[in-house]
Amino acid sequence: MTKMTYAVAIDRAIVGDVDAEVIEKLEALKVQLAKRGSGKHGLTKTQKEGLELMERIYEMLADAADGMTATEVGAEVGVTCQRASALLKKLVEDERVRKDKVGKQVRFFLA
């Protein structure tokens, strides 16, 4: 006789071969899945920092009539140009900020 695993119990339940052993194994599986939680967890530390930085950037852009480049934003906030660019991209996707090409520079303004 083979060992009753979750996979074996599920296979037997699918074909309709359900007995006390299969029910017991499926109940144990149900308990295991319940222990894993709902999968709804809070934001990570990095995500929270990103949200705070996005708010600071938004406030800075509100004061900048001529807009700002990603490099200027990064220098002002204290992050790399790449990080500033990623945060600005999220703000553009949220339609809070618009991106315009002014000459050879890409500048960001409030939407």
Q: In this structure, how many other beta carbons lie within 10 angstroms of the beta carbon of residue 48?
A: 11
Which residues does residue 98 pair with via DSSP β-bridges, in sequence order? 109
The residue written with tokens 């052993």 in the block is: 21
Report pLDDT digits (tens) over 42-89: 888 999 999 999 999 999 999 888 899 999 999 999 999 999 999 999
pLDDT at 41: 74
* CA dist., res. 85 & res. 90, Å (int): 9
Angle made by CA atoms 71, 77, 79, in degrees to the nearest 5:
65
Domains of the chain: 6-35 (no CATH), 45-110 (1.10.10.10)
H/E run at residue 109: strand 105-110
CB 108 within 8 A of CB 67: yes
Instruction: Name the pTM for this structure.
Output: 0.63
Per-residue pLDDT reduced to its tens digit, 10-40: 888 899 888 888 899 999 998 888 887 666 6
Let me know: does 73 contact 108? Beta carbons within 8 Å.
yes
